[in-house]
Structure 1
Amino acid sequence: MAPALDLPYEIRNVTPEEDKLIKKCVIGHTKPFVKCGKKGYVMPGAFRNHARAIHDMEVRPDDVWVITFPRSGTTWTQEMVWLLENNLDYAAARNTPLFERFPMLEISSMVPEMAIELIKADFLNLASFQGLNKAVRVQSWESIDKAPSPRFIKTHLPLSLLPPDLLDKAKVIYVARDPRDIAVSYYYLHKMVGKTLYRASFKNFWNVFKKDLLPWTPVVTHNNEAWSQRHNKNLHFVFYEDMIKDLRKVIHGMCHFLGRNYLDEQINTLADHLSFDSLRKNKNVNNTTDGNNNIQFIRKGEAGGWVTHFDQEMRDEANDYLSTRLCGLDLRYPSYNEDHIECSRL
């Protein structure tokens, strides 16, 4: 790796009150959470010790990165991209878990301090989730740094916390999703991983989410960093809702971005492979931690499902949350087409 540089952004602890709110929804962490940079991206305290290595990581010109906020179609996109870049080798995909083919850059930073020994002992199948067993033994970015090319890298970090030459060198796919649907799916992810130890209700979770106090938030700011780079030749911006609406069209667009050519019949076969019914049955993709758990890592694959989880008060809060954060931006979510964005509350 290149010599370490001083970080161009500040990392500071959240307030004690904020830390208490976060830890009601994100269990197992003992260190205070932190906010990173001027935009205040929330991360576990361990990230303080890892940020520089990630920022200084060497980017290779044949890297392919998938960047998303959590629960925005990350796994779906990873499987699509890996297969397109590997000549639709379904046999190889079946033989190797997705987290090995397409590892997560910062996952070692996300492991709760209280969970490390449990992961090593494979408590409740936690070691098999996203390759956590390896991530608690070897720093994830070190494994990626030593991996042979071409590398496929997943991250939930925003562009501003990643290597500054990323878009100058590598191909980057960014997927954004309506934050209201993200909130629901993100909650169920925490319930799946925390199992019976998880006590927060969805209303409590939403209360922290809307304050931009969960890991990797603020989500709209995260999305907008990529949206503002959407014309960069090395960044391909996709909305999750468009993948739901017309997956084959999205696959064609991805092929164009990656410089890959496939027959329509091959595209159709890939689209069938990427259907949610297929992905749920695919153990190398569906990272559900317990076969008897009724909460699946690959959930419903829908847009607009948030309405069944929000009461009227929460719907009003969600509208205020979005209209306030979208004020002054040209970013709009396909499922949130408000003609007038309320800016008076800023």
Structure 2
Amino acid sequence: MAQPSITATPFGELPNGQTAQLFTLTNGSGLEVRITNYGGIVTHFFAADRQGQPGDIVLGFDSLAGYLTDAYTAANPYFGGLIGRFGNRIKEGRFALNGQPFTLATNNGPNHLHGGQHGFNQQLWHAEMLVDLGPALRLTYLSPDGEEGYPGNLAVTVLYRLTADNALRIEYTATTDRATPLNLTNHSYFNLGAGTTPDILGHELTLHADRYTVVDDTLIPTGELRPVAGTPFDFGQTHTIGERIGQVPGGYDHNWVLRGEGFRLVAEAHEPATGRTLQVLTDQPGIQFYAGNFLAGTLTGKQGRAYPKHGGFCLETQHFPDSPNQPAFPNTVLQPGEVFRSVTEYRCGVR
């Protein structure tokens, strides 16, 4: 059996002349993940099928250039990126803290999405390779006061590491010197067919959630947490993604209210032909299940493969959208003196 390892190679040059690195992590038992310090993007994720054959189960590009093209900027799917300061949407790009109003970019129709025009997924993070944790990559970024309109100097650390039981573990830590909303996540798009299935509609999905956040036509929560029972949002029993997607206007792009608290299993996907499974474990209260509705075949990724509508799905662990404007939702404001900590795992297997 191979030894766990982490290596670094150049990944490409940014317009400002800085060079991004690509880090390859292998756990010695069949899992290989590649991550660039540009945006903390997970570019490749190789997991074995039931025959033991590895395949790349995430959407992305083989070089940095793919993430910098005009076509990518126009489509803006956030492939594999770290999302912050605030993942998901904030209504009209506005919120108030301690009576003070703040205004953010409206980069998704009338609303603010995923941290703004230049969120964490477009920043060059400082990277450290760690061998003693299994292997691991530590990324750090200081988001200055006022960046994208957010208050406070926010110091963020994200630790990516591979576990012995074939999981990509993501540990988030953050501190601030001024109260600020915070909602960190990773935006990987998965297709467990690894190139053998053009879309993810045949994937089977289970979500450990009894309610979801109802949204308006701009995907902002109304405040209602509606039971999933008897609706196309009920994945308590396993269903294929495509089975009822036609009953959901626009397709799945919603936050599910997860059962339980603490670090726990919250979702599982299964691709029947290859046998690959993906379990999601987190300590977060919500998960955004997005079925790639806005992919349109305009982007050509690895191995010359175009990414069509529903070409991948996301399971983004998170707090609820628009939480800064929804006092009944779990709190997302990080205060000075506090340390934000969160853990999510994407665990691979077969059946």
- TM score, norm. by length of structure 1: 0.25
Greater share of strand residues, 1 or 2? 2
Greater share of helix residues, 1 or 2? 1
Q: Which has the higher relative contact order, 1 or 2, with Cα contacts under 8 A spaced 6 or more apart? A: 1
